[in-house]
Amino acid sequence: DIQMTQSPSTLSAFVGDSVTITCRASQSISTWLAWCQQKPGKAPKLLIYKASKLETGVPSRFSGSGSGTEFTLTISSLQPDDFATYYCQQHAAYPLTFGGGTKIEIK
């Protein structure tokens, strides 16, 4: 199975900060990586697919990069609506697997 490791698990930041979350795959997954956002009590929502492609309707302050085994999600200028938990997900091979999540908290 491909293990997905996210870091940090928790991140505290101010509104307006730029933050970066890292996701590492235990083996190469090319760019078969997606990022989603989940708010408490809600379903996850797709943000980024194919490592760097922004889903329709997602603000441009979200960006993704990387290939192979190392990927990043960057949120430039954090907004109050962005405080949530973020997950990476690989879809290169079965079983499909998620990272453990990164919770972004208000500092």
Distance, in Å, from the CA atom of 55 to the CA atom of 89, rounded to the nearest integer, reads 15
Our CB check for another protein shows the closer of 19 and 34 to be 34
Which 19-38 positions form the footprint of another protein (CB under 8 A)?
32, 34, 36, 38
Contact between 54 and another protein (CB under 8 A)?
no
Non-local CB neighbours of 46 within 8 Å, separated by 6+ positions: 34, 35, 36, 55, 58
Nearer to another protein, 68 or 100 (CB): 100
Q: Give the containing element (helix H, strand E) for 87.
A: strand 85-90
Residue 86 interacting with another protein (CB under 8 A): no
Element (H, E) at 75: strand 70-75
Which segment (13-21, 40-48, 62-70, 74-82) binds another protein by CB under 8 A?
A: 40-48
List the beta bridge partners of residue 63: 74
Q: Which residues bind another protein (CB under 8 A)?
A: 32, 34, 36, 38, 42-46, 49-50, 87, 89, 91, 94-101
